[in-house]
């Protein structure tokens, strides 16, 4: 083999552009709604409940059925199978048979020749309701012991002994609000009945298998009679994990009833009213601190608004409990998770999945301790960080083996000059009574893996054709995050061929069955390893053919630079593919991967729920107007641990996007229900996501250099989808810092999230007395 070989294009660790980048900016990328309609396709619309809590006395669909173009109207009694689409527990109906439990709940659906006809007819369905008193707040649910699943408990040490040893005792509460996913592509599904009683579902979903199972249950079919396919989504963020089953389920039941294809797409207002969101939390804390500023006891209540049914709430609660330590050694803890039932939409998966709320809890505690003791939050953090050889076990029993948070803080300090930066903020405040600045850092330790061990598995299917081209399929879904191009890079690296030779095919349950959701930041870890497993099987077979061809041991065969070498002799990859076929060697393989080391006891909330941790740290500077409560983020410095990044360009995009999305959650994205339980912020005119002008004018995101994953992940990379979102907590903490500056940093502000102008102004007025 020659001494110098050209590097393949698009292998591992290269900054390759997103596979659909050109299609996205030119409009050529096809989404479900762009697919040409199958002849005879009907359009569907939903009728949503106007009440937060009511009994259904009667439903009359006769006027709707008589409307022009209408082919079918369905209510709960029309579902032929089991009316249950629960992702974790049971008894979560697609359409309510007797009781509506939130305003915006789908009650009926209409299929008609056109979308306008379907929407007009839906308004003609007559429902007689008996309104019932709704429960709308977490506090009322706690008072009445209303929960969507059993409360959870995580303990470690002796909390009462910890409190007795404490010099300081600090207690309080904080609220953090929910967040709408606000994906650009709304919820949509197309259901096509087959000629043998089977169904093809095109769904904008993160979890094709869950949609498959949900539709099969509703129609009374075996899973193999339902095939779900998705090529791409226009954003998801967790909102198309369980929620997509509602849309696909309605379309499928209508298709079953009419024996025609049915498409259901939700307009933005209906989408926001009918589908779940990030969980709002009420956090109550009681903390003991010793003379060295170390937390010696922490009693936390993490109460989540689960909405009307369990949905993902039990798992979100578990995840919140597992992140309420963040980066800190807490010897004596009692963490209680309360999954509160209210008459609002069932809240669901959202980027971070409980982790952000758990971290808000402990970072509030750190901030309050610092103000009470006259220290900075960073000083309190330094006293409480996990150790490396000792004080390194999380409250749930997992040893933190890869702790690099202090290294990352030192690196951020090196590039951003934190001391000088803080002095510049303090100097500004000394001469500015109206506009005040704040600065805060935020460390992050985020666990990677599903808490449920069974979900940590993936499959892949790889075909090599005789011209050397490759088709790749796996169980992960593409929602803009770059999963497809990353997994293609893995296969390119395995075969040592240019990524241009690899075609990515749509995710479908017909090719890779029993898939896990593309969630928990684990898409590349799981599907990348499964694809590598499949590619290596084929590569091993091809190596045997090459060894026979060159009459050398298989160990001397090397794949490199689009060729296959035996010493100085070589053939091209396509030539070897053709030879393999001639030798009747299979050029197709299914790959499989399961994450090692994981175990979890749901009864005790102990075990090893994560394969590893992804770390990050951020510093943000804000300005607040003390007369109006308005805020601006002036500068953000981010440092994220990506291990040995498979694609630095994609990862940087994820870091920046996650931070801005988190910033929106904590500053401007306020969900507001009136006293009748009606969501009033259900469109872009009333619900404020960050815009281009909200991005900090100084915004630097960096990937930590020379930090390969210590665990044997795909090419030693780390997950990046969720962890950077929590770096945005630095913005909320910086706003608190700016308010605290009005009292010489000695008083902790009473400030919930999101820090809207109204809340900031209220906090300012309280500080000033």
Report the sign of the C-alpha dihedral through residues 84, 90, 92, 97, in that order. positive
3-state helix, strand, coil in the chain (%, to 5): 35, 25, 40
Mean pLDDT, residues 642-646 taken together: 98
Find the mean pLDDT for residues 551-556.
97
At residue 5 the predicted structure's pLDDT band, cuts being 50, 70 and 90, is: low
- The Cα–Cα gap between 336 and 339 comes to 10
In CATH terms, is domain 21-28+457-594 a member of 3.30.365.10? Answer: yes
CA distance 434 to 545: 77
- Measured on CA atoms in the order 135, 139, 143, 149, is the torsion positive or negative? positive
Whether pLDDT at 2 is above 60: no
Q: Kind and range of the H or E element at 458? A: strand 457-464
- 3-state SS of 714-729? HHHECCCCCHHHHHHH
pLDDT at 3: 42
Q: At what angle do helices 377-384 and 355-373 cross, to 10 degrees?
A: 110
- Alpha carbon distance 668, 633 (integer Å): 12
- Whether the pLDDT of residue 1 is over 60: the answer is no
Q: Tell me: cis bond preceding 733? Omega within 30 of 0 counts.
A: no
Side-chain half-sphere of 144: how many Cα atoms within 13 Å?
14
d(CA 747, CA 10): 53
- Closest C-alpha among 507, 593, 515 to residue 209: 515
Sign of the CA dihedral 129, 257, 253, 112? Answer: negative
Answer yes or no: is pLDDT of 329 > 50: yes
Answer whether 225's CB lies under 8 Å from 198's CB: yes
**Which pLDDT value is given to residue 733?**
98
The helix (H) or strand (E) run that includes residue 463 is strand 457-464
Number of neighbouring beta carbons within 10 Å of residue 336: 17
Alpha helices per DSSP H over 56-191? 62-65, 115-122, 138-143, 159-165
Give the pLDDT confidence of 358-400 residue by residue, as tens digits.
Answer: 999 999 999 999 999 999 999 999 999 999 999 999 999 999 9
Nearest to 574 by CA among 485, 470, 492, 493: 470
DSSP 35-86: SPPPTT-EEEEEEE-S-SSEEEEEEE-HHHHTSTTEEEEE-GGG-SS-----
The predicted-structure confidence for 155-195, as pLDDT tens digits, reads as follows 999 999 999 999 999 999 999 999 999 999 999 999 999 99
pLDDT confidence of residue 4? 52
DSSP 8-state assignment for residue 135? P
Report residue 532: phi and psi, to 5°. Answer: -65, -40
The answer to whether 533 touches 460, Cβ cutoff 8 Å, is: yes
The set of catalytic residues is 722
Q: Determine the CATH number of domain 400-446+611-769.
A: 3.30.365.10
Q: What's the mean pLDDT when you consider all of the chain?
A: 97
How sure is the predictor about 732, in pLDDT bands with cuts at 50, 70 and 90? very high
- Tell me if 21-28+457-594 shares its fold with 400-446+611-769: yes
What are the structural domain ranges in the chain? 21-28+457-594, 400-446+611-769
The per-residue DSSP string of 609-624 comes to --SEEEEEEEEEEEEE
In this structure, what is the dihedral angle of CA atoms 330, 713, 646, 10, given to the nearest 10 degrees?
-170
Q: How is residue 192 annotated by DSSP?
A: E
Buried b (16+ CB within 10 A) or exposed e, 85-115: bbbeeeebbbbbeeebbbbbbbbbbbbbeeb
The radius of gyration of the chain's CA atoms, rounded to the nearest angstrom, is: 27
pLDDT in tens, 513-551: 999 999 999 999 999 999 999 999 999 999 999 999 999
121-160 pLDDT, tens digit per residue, is 999 999 999 999 999 999 999 999 999 999 999 999 999 9
DSSP string, 547-590: HHHHTS-GGGEEEETTEEEETTEEEEHHHHHHHHHHTT---EEE
What residues contact residue 652 under an 8 Å CB cut-off, 6+ apart? 701, 703
pLDDT the model gives residue 725: 98
Distances (CA, A) of 479 to 31, 420, 595, 606, 707: 11, 41, 23, 32, 27
Coil vs helix vs strand at 388: coil
CA gap 568, 563 in Å, rounded? 11
Which pLDDT score is estimated for 381? 98
């Amino acid at each position: 083999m020659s001494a110098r070989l050209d590097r393949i294009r698009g292998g591992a660790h290269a900054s390759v552009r997103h596979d659909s980048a050109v299609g996205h900016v030119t409009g050529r990328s096809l989404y479900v709604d762009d697919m040409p309609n199958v002849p005879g396709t009907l359009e569907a619309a939903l009728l949503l409940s106007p009440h937060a809590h009511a009994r259904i006395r009667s439903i009359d669909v006769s006027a709707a059925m008589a409307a022009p173009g209408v082919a079918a109207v369905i209510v709960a009694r029309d579902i032929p199978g089991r009316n249950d689409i629960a992702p974790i527990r049971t008894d979560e109906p697609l359409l309510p048979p007797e009781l509506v439990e939130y305003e915006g709940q789908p009650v009926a659906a209409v299929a008609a020749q056109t979308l306008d006809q379907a929407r007009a007819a839906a308004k003609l369905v007559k429902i007689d309701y008996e309104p019932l008193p709704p429960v709308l707040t977490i506090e009322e649910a706690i008072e009445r012991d209303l929960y969507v699943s059993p409360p959870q408990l995580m303990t470690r040490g002796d909390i009462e002994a910890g409190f007795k040893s404490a010099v300081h005792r600090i207690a309080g509460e904080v609220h953090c609000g929910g967040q709408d996913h606000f994906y650009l592509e709304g919820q949509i599904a197309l259901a096509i009945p087959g000629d043998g009683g089977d169904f093809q579902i095109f769904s904008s979903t993160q979890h094709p298998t869950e949609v498959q199972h949900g539709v099969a249950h509703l129609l009374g079919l075996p899973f193999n009679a339902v095939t779900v396919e998705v090529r791409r989504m226009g954003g998801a963020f967790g909102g198309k994990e369980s929620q997509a089953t509602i849309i696909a389920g309605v379309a499928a039941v209508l298709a079953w009833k009419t024996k025609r294809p049915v498409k259901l797409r939700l307009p933005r207002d209906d989408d926001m009213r009918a589908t779940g969101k990030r969980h709002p939390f009420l956090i109550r804390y009681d903390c003991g601190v010793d003379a060295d500023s170390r937390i010696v006891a922490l009693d936390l209540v993490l109460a989540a608004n689960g909405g009307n049914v369990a949905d993902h709430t039990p798992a979100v609660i578990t995840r919140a409990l597992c992140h309420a330590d963040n980066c800190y050694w807490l010897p004596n803890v009692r963490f209680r998770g309360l999954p509160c039932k209210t008459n609002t939409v069932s809240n669901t998966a959202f980027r971070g999945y409980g982790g952000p709320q758990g971290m808000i809890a402990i970072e509030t505690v750190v901030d309050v301790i610092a103000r009470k003791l006259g220290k900075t939050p960073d000083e309190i953090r330094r006293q409480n960080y996990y150790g490396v050889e000792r004080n390194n076990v999380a409250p749930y029993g997992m040893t933190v083996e890869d702790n690099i948070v202090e290294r990352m803080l030192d690196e951020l300090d090196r590039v951003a000059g934190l001391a000088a930066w803080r002095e510049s903020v303090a100097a500004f405040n000394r001469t500015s009574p109206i506009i005040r600045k704040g600065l805060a850092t935020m460390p992050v330790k985020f666990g990677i893996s599903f808490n449920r061990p069974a979900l940590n598995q993936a499959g892949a299917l790889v075909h090599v054709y005789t011209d050397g081209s490759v088709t790749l399929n796996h169980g992960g879904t593409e929602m803009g995050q770059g999963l497809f191009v990353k997994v293609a890079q893995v296969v390119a690296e395995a075969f040592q061929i240019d990524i241009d030779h690899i075609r990515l095919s749509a995710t479908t349950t017909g090719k890779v069955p029993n898939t896990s959701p593309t969630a928990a930041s684990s898409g590349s870890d799981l599907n990348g390893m499964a694809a590598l497993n499949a590619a290596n099987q084929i590569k091993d077979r091809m190596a045997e053919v090459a060894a026979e061809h060159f009459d050398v041991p298989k160990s001397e065969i090397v794949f490199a630079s689009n060729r296959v070498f035996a010493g100085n002799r070589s053939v091209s990859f396509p030539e070897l593919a053709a030879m393999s076929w001639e030798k009747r060697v299979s050029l197709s393989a299914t790959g499989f991967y399961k994450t090692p080391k994981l175990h979890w006891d749901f009864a005790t909330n102990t075990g090893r729920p994560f394969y590893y941790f992804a770390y990050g740290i951020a510093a943000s500077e804000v300005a607040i107007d003390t007369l109006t409560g308005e805020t601006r983020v002036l500068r953000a410095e981010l440092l994220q641990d990506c291990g040995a990044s498979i694609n630095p360009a994609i990862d940087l995009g994820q870091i920046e996007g996650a931070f801005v999305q988190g910033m929106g959650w904590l500053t401007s994205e306020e969900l507001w229900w009136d006293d009748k339980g009606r969501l009033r912020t259900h469109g872009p005119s009333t619900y404020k996501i960050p815009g281009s002008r909200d991005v900090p004018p100084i915004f630097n995101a960096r990937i930590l250099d020379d930090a390969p994953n210590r665990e044997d992940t795909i090419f030693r990379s780390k997950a990046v989808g969720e962890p950077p979102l929590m770096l945005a907590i630095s913005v909320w903490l910086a706003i608190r810092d700016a308010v605290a500056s009005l009292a010489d940093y000695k008083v902790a502000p009473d400030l919930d999230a999101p820090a809207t102008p109204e809340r900031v102004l209220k906090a300012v007025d309280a500080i000033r007395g």
